Amino acid sequence: MAATQDKRSTSPANAALRIGLASLTALLAVNLYTGAPLLAIWVGSRVQNGTQLTMSTVAVVVAVLVFTVALLVMALTRVEAAYRVVTNQPTKRRTAPWLRSMRGERDEFERRPLSGPEKALVGAVVGACLIFQIWFFFFSGSPIG
At 2, the pLDDT band (50, 70, 90 cuts) reads very low
Answer whether residue 106 is part of any domain.
no
Distance CA 25, CA 1 (A): 32
pLDDT in tens, 49-62: 888 889 999 999 99
pLDDT in tens, 64-76: 999 999 999 999 9
Answer whether residue 53 is part of any domain.
yes
How many domains would you assign to the chain?
1
Could you list the residue range(s) of the whole structural domain that residue 82 is in? 7-91+116-139
Distance CA 14, CA 20 (A): 10
Answer whether residue 70 is part of any domain.
yes
pLDDT in tens, 83-128: 888 888 766 676 776 776 666 655 555 667 777 788 888 888 899 8
Give the pLDDT confidence score for residue 9 in this predicted structure: 56
pTM over the 0.75 mark: no
Q: Which residues contact 73 (CB under 8 A, 6 or more apart)?
A: 32
